[in-house]
Structure 1
Amino acid sequence: MGMKLYGTPLSTNATRVRSLLNEKGIDFELVPVNLRAGDHKRPPFLALNPFGQVPVLQDGDIILFESRAINRYIASRYKETGPDLLRSAAGPAETAAVEVWLAVESQQFGPPIEELVFEVLIKPLIGETTDQTAVEREVERLGRVLDVYEERLSKNKYLAGGEFTLADLNHMTYTYFLLRTPQADLVTSRSHVLAWWEDISSRPAWKKTAEIIPV
């Protein structure tokens, strides 16, 4: 049984997984889930993910949900396919740095940028009104996080050190969407963050990923 990824091209979290599969050069089938029709809340899909959210990865008999957990699984199980994005042979300091910055993405970067993109980009697409108070709050929160990134990236080419890792990759989807909002200056005004983004977004696997995002 081939690998299947259930989701949509517009789904930020499904895109996070697609970007890793493309980076690894792993063949997979993108199985569309009609969110507007509510297919993700019906029994066949709930049997795959009881929370009714995309993406879901089916790798043979293994079924996983939660995009960051899926990516950690792919990077670990298929570490010898394509680049080793966990840097498992690089020594304890660098492998620990990968884990630290994976956690930073999830706990520090993720919450404000996800809320900001939802308010500014997604709400208008689904006919809802942007909450400007929420936008201002999340701009401030994300700005503080990116100030830390600016300092980090002034001393390191990538977040975990000198090589591109899963820690960088997990940031790519939401950064891509943020740069298509009026708040893009959160990235473009920080020279080291911008240089990092221009580097990682020029990777062929990301270009392949981004070309089907309907934004």
Structure 2
Amino acid sequence: MALKVHGSFRSPAVLRVVACLKEKELDYEFVNVNMQTGDHKQPQFLALNPFGQVPAFEDGDLKLFESRAITQYIAHTYVDKGTQLIVPDHKKMAIMSTWMEVEAQKFDPAATKLGFEIVIKPMRGLTTDDAVVAQYEEQLGKILDVYEARLKESKYLGGDCFTLVDLHHIPLINYLMATRVKALFDARPTVSAWVADILARPAWSKVQELLEQK
């Protein structure tokens, strides 16, 4: 099998790649990386991702890392398979790329920080910093205000159809729906409807099935 994903199902970045493969209806091999035992810092894995982070990806002799680069490669290379996650029009693609940057540079840092404070810290026996939570809830709220306005103009963030922009949000949003942060999404009706839409994707349901098996 040419396509290989190296990673852990605990990682939202890995799930981003797996969701993309499910949308494209592509077969792949999943190579589990045990991060608790430090597999991601071993020479064999560092040859795939020199930063020692998951995921890593292989398509034949091509080796990639960084989840969003991987999903873009998959969407462009296998454009004739499954869901069309990119748009052919250059202007529409530029708009889509803008919102992909928004997800990576604005949404992801705030959402990740909240997940760490609210979920990961308690799991590790650490104390949640309420001041940090308040700071990032305010920050995420402002981002979602922009999303609310955008989604009143188009059905999805990148345009009128589901694209990589929306897909890139799914793992972290799914994660946050089980926390108090869900209220930030619920308070914005258009954002809330968008969340319900993207989380109901058949491809994401298949990812969820994989998670239940782990």
Aligned equivalents of 1:44 and 1:155: distance in 2? 47
Whichever residue aligns with residue 202 of structure 1, its letter is A
Which residue in the other structure is 2:87 paired with? 87
Name the counterpart of 1:11. 11
Secondary structure class of the residue paired with 2:211 = coil
Which residue is 1:61 aligned to? Answer: 61
Q: Determine which of 198, 201, 208 is the counterpart of 2:199.
A: 201
Q: Is 2:46 the counterpart of 1:50?
A: no
CA displacement at 1:129 relative to structure 2: 2.7
What pairs with 1:170-189 in structure 2 (closer than 5 Å)?
A: 170-189=168-187
Distance 1:160 1:108 in 2: 15
- Going from structure 1 to structure 2, the CA distance change for 1:36 and 1:127 (only over 3 Å counts) comes to farther
Cα pair distance change 1:156/1:125, threshold 3 Å:
same
Q: Secondary structure at the match of 2:96?
A: helix
Deviation at 1:183, TM superposition (A): 1.5
In structure 2, runs of 5+ residues without a counterpart are none
Cα distance, 1:97 vs structure 2: 1.5
Deviations along 1:71-118, one digit per CA (max 9) or x if unpaired, are 111111111111221112xx2332222111111111111111111112
The aligned residue for residue 22 of structure 1 is 22
Partner of 1:132: 130
Structure 2 Cα separation of the partners of residues 212 and 181 of structure 1: 22
Distance 1:93 1:62 in 2: 29
Give the secondary structure class of the aligned counterpart of 2:210.
Answer: coil
Once structures 1 and 2 are overlaid, which stretch shifts more, 77-86 or 52-61? 77-86
Measured in 1, the distance between the counterparts of 2:97 and 2:41 equals 33
Query: Residues 162-207 of structure 1: CA distance to partner in whole angstroms, max 9, x if unpaired?
Result: 1111111101111111111111111111100010011111110011
Whole-angstrom distance in 2 between the partners of 1:179 and 1:152: 21
Would you say 1:191 and 2:183 are equivalent positions?
Answer: no
The Cα of 1:213 is off from its aligned counterpart by 3.1
Report the alpha carbon displacement of residue 124 of structure 1 after superposing the two structures with TM.
2.3
Q: Take 1:167 and 1:154, find their aligned partners in 2: how far apart are those partners? A: 16
Secondary structure at 1:158 match in 2? coil
Corresponding residue for 2:150? 152
Partners of 1:185 and 1:92 lie apart in 2 by 36
Cα separation, 2, equivalents of 1:119 and 1:16: 21
In structure 1, the gaps of 5 or more residues are: none
1:163 matched to which residue of 2? 161
* Aligned mates of 1:114, 1:39 — CA distance in 2: 23
2:141 to 140, 143, 165: 143
Identity of aligned residues (%): 46
Corresponding residue for 1:121? 119
Amino acid at match of 2:11: S
